[in-house]
Amino acid sequence: MNSTFRAAPLALALPLLLSTTALAQPTLPETIVTATRIPTEAERVPAAITVLTRADIEERGYQSLAEALATVPGMNMVQGGGLGQQASVFIRGTASRHVLVLLDGVPVNDASEPNGAFNFGNELLADIERIEVVRGPGSSLYGSGAIGGVINLVTRRAPAGVPVQVFGDLAGGSQGTARGALGAAGSLGGWNYLVVGQGLTTQGSDATPRRITGDTKETESLRAGAGTARFGWAGGTTSIEGMLRWRENRLELDNVPNDDPNYDGNDRRWFGQLRAETGLFDGAWTTGLRAAVTEDRRRYLNLPDGRSSGSTDDLYRGTRQTLDWGNRVRLGDAGPFSAVGLAFGMTHEHESVEANSGSPGFRTTTDASASTTAVHAGIQGRLGPRLDLSAGLRQDVADDYDGFLSWRAGAVLALPEVSSRVRASAGTAFKAPSLYQRFGRIGSFFQGNPNLEAEDSFAWEVGAETDLPLFGRSDGVTASATYFNTRTNNLINFNRSFSSLENIEEASSQGVELGLVVRPVRWLDARLGWTITEARDEVADAPLARRPRNVISAGARIAPTDRLVISPEVLFTGPSPDTASYADSGAFVSGVNYNKSGTVLNLTASYRVTSAITAYAEGRNLGNSRWEPANGFVTPGRSLLVGTRFVF
């Protein structure tokens, strides 16, 4: 066994060994919904969780979802260029298609994407209130796709008791970038509303590395827009609301490894939902219905030019319809247990895809649809004064594959004598074969396999967190460590003749997530995260591509006055294996090759001019690193954006 993982038990025990007797934290704990479907204090959830709030997004200068997630522990973000370009997330060494993304609790992974993966490079954040990231298997709650983890984008809400609140953002800077957002929200009587519009335009940067001799230094521009509208009513324990969200990006693309002057893309998504919820038995039982529709449309067009006589006209349409009945029941005390809560419900999903892509003779087509129905239940409670237990179970029944029974169980033990808590959990998860994998065709030589089984996994983790009484505070330092281990089976890959797909691959990943937060003075919070991952293809006995062994992030919130906040951030990514590599000449290099490590420095400063107006400056990649997150795609160069935010 590798020495790093022989030391894992010591790493997990380190927060406890460092601790001494300290007072419990007096602040109210944060409440998490994504991890259990029941609003639960974060300290009682047996899972590794990261929450990015609206304040985090603004103070750290995150423009896109990809930027916001890049420093989350256990995660590796791989983006092929700048804003708007394709971005994939790998959580704890699992595949990018093994991450499930929710919008206000509704799955929004693109059904038309061949693997059912989510593109993290598309989303702007003006209408997002918080981002909840739950690492580890989540299929017992949300079904297919949640092998590595679940990411929930929670949209902004109307302020209570305020008839009209106007907010916005206006900024501009290098690379011809301009960004703006304008919104209004409010509550009057039982009614509430929210309307937000946002847009961004940039000339972008050259995604092709300078080392490749064919680079023409052409930049890839982006024109992005999004709008969100919500209208609702609430009275007593009953609420009804409707929401509509639109997002559309127009962007320029590159062929790998050469620039292409007229390769363009259009990526559009519509999302709508209606939701009603009411309380029964004096609010002890909350039941609700939700209907949601997501429609993705992507088109990529490339006409012949002086650099290439080939052409591309690819069109993808994917639709997901969701009907969900959910319940939360507060059971109170039951025998030796207290604060017992039960969540249960039923979900029905229908997906359809129409896709036509590729060159003549190599044309890829998919025209199919399928439905899935699932029932799920979860229970949690506290045994004695310090042990929280939880368990969940879900059965998915599908039209055209065998379905899957997933589960997860966990425990959290509070150790107030040493201001610590220890948690452990284990569970299964799955990723259903996509419609392309089951029914897609490539010319006359490839046909999908309708008999594919779901990819499945078993994962477990154990972790500890401790507050150390230093610098005159009970939580002057917070240390944490989590060991994780995931085994994934029945992975889908091409058969030997490349004429179809089979469940023939296996993979494993293990690692440690280490965290440290230091609060030496009132005006400084510093954080450090280090994730060590070993991910391997068990069949080929080779490292998995784009899973670096070491990812280290560091950041701070420096507030020397009540008006000024300075947020530096550093991200280091170690050497990363890749199976799609290009020499400096642009020639393809076969086999596993390692991308060099890279470091990116960002700095954001915000100054509150008045109670309603804040001025800020955002500097990205200030060291002008030419690091390649994916071989053949360089990280954007140095940039600066200045602007102002307002809330009236």
C-alpha to C-alpha distance for 228 and 272, rounded to whole angstroms = 10
Average pLDDT (606-629) is 96
C-alpha to C-alpha distance for 412 and 386, rounded to whole angstroms = 8
Burial class (CB in 10 A: 0-12, 13-18, 19+), 279: middle
Phi and psi at residue 139, to the nearest 5°: -70, -25
3-class SS of residue 236: coil
Average pLDDT (423-443) is 96
pLDDT, position 20: 36
C-alpha to C-alpha distance for 544 and 594, rounded to whole angstroms = 11
Measured at the CA of 611, the angle between CA 607 and CA 617, to 5 degrees, comes to 20
The two structure tokens encoding residue 182: 């304008």
Q: Is the per-residue pLDDT at 367 higher than 70?
A: yes
pLDDT confidence band for 4 (50 / 70 / 90) = very low
The two structure tokens encoding residue 548: 């670096």
**Which H or E run includes 187?**
strand 177-188
| Closest residue by Cα to residue 352 from 372, 363, 367, 374 | 367
Give one DSSP letter per residue of 449-488, joined into a string.
Answer: -TTPPPEEEEEEEEEEEEEE--TTSTTSEEEEEEEEEEEE
**Residue 636: CB partners within 8 Å, gap ≥ 6?**
81, 82, 83, 175, 204, 205, 620, 621
What rounded mean pLDDT belongs to the chain?
A: 92
C-alpha to C-alpha distance for 477 and 481, rounded to whole angstroms = 14
pLDDT, position 254: 77
pLDDT digits (tens, 9 = 90+) for 106-149: 999 999 999 999 999 999 999 999 999 999 999 999 999 999 99
**Residue 600: CB partners within 8 Å, gap ≥ 6?**
570, 571, 620, 621, 623, 625, 627, 635
- Could you give the percent of the chain with pLDDT greater than 70? 95
Number of separate domains in the chain? 1
Of residues 583 and 27, more confidently modeled:
583
pLDDT digits (tens, 9 = 90+) for 52-97: 999 999 999 999 999 999 999 999 999 988 889 999 999 999 999 9
How many other CB atoms sit within 10 Å of the CB of residue 451? Answer: 14
pLDDT digits (tens, 9 = 90+) for 374-424: 999 999 999 999 999 999 999 999 988 888 999 999 999 999 999 999 999
Of residues 256 and 341, more confidently modeled:
341
pLDDT, position 111: 94
- Kind of pairing, strands 550-558 and 524-537? antiparallel
pLDDT, position 17: 38
**3-class secondary structure for 228-264?**
EEEEEEEECCEEEEEEEEEEEEEEECCCCCCCCCCEE
Task: Give 20's DSSP letter.
Answer: -
Give one DSSP letter per residue of 64-115, joined into a string.
Answer: BHHHHHTTSTTEEEEESSSTTS-EEEEETT--GGGEEEEETTEE---TTSTT
3-class SS of residue 63: coil
Q: Is the per-residue pLDDT at 29 higher than 60?
A: no
Average pLDDT (308-334) is 92
Is 402:453 a contact under the CB 8 Å cutoff?
Answer: yes
Task: Read off the CATH number of the domain in which 224 is found.
Answer: 2.40.170.20
pLDDT, position 285: 95
Of residues 631 and 36, more confidently modeled:
631
3-class SS of residue 56: helix
C-alpha to C-alpha distance for 269 and 451, rounded to whole angstroms = 30
C-alpha to C-alpha distance for 330 and 340, rounded to whole angstroms = 6
| Closest residue by Cα to residue 36 from 157, 119, 181, 136 | 136
C-alpha to C-alpha distance for 595 and 593, rounded to whole angstroms = 7
| Closest residue by Cα to residue 355 from 388, 384, 314 | 314
How many other CB atoms sit within 10 Å of the CB of residue 648? Answer: 11
pLDDT digits (tens, 9 = 90+) for 337-350: 999 999 999 999 99
pLDDT, position 1: 45
3-class SS of residue 491: strand
pLDDT digits (tens, 9 = 90+) for 480-523: 999 999 999 999 999 999 999 999 999 999 999 999 999 999 99
> Which ranges of 412-562 would DSSP assign to H, the alpha helix?
435-439
pLDDT digits (tens, 9 = 90+) for 177-199: 999 999 999 999 999 999 999 99
pLDDT digits (tens, 9 = 90+) for 571-582: 999 999 999 899
pLDDT confidence band for 38 (50 / 70 / 90) = confident
**Residue 461: CB partners within 8 Å, gap ≥ 6?**
47, 48, 136, 424, 425, 426, 482, 483, 484, 485
Sign of the CA dihedral running 572, 619, 64, 185 = positive
Q: What residues make up the domain containing 643? A: 3-647
518 to each of 10, 75, 136, 554, 617, how far by Cα in Å?
A: 21, 22, 26, 11, 25
Sign of the CA dihedral running 67, 69, 72, 77 = negative
Peptide bond into 9 cis (omega under 30): no
Is 234:286 a contact under the CB 8 Å cutoff?
Answer: no
* Range of lowest pLDDT (67-71, 319-323, 586-590): 586-590
C-alpha to C-alpha distance for 535 and 257, rounded to whole angstroms = 27
C-alpha to C-alpha distance for 195 and 189, rounded to whole angstroms = 18
3-class SS of residue 12: helix
pLDDT, position 398: 93
C-alpha to C-alpha distance for 500 and 495, rounded to whole angstroms = 6
pLDDT digits (tens, 9 = 90+) for 225-236: 999 999 999 998
Span between the terminal Cα atoms of the chain, in Å: 59
The two structure tokens encoding residue 294: 């997501």
C-alpha to C-alpha distance for 480 and 475, rounded to whole angstroms = 13
C-alpha to C-alpha distance for 644 and 197, rounded to whole angstroms = 16
| Closest residue by Cα to residue 51 from 31, 36, 67, 79 | 31
What is the Cα 151 distance to its own chain's centre?
A: 4
pLDDT, position 23: 32
pLDDT, position 3: 45
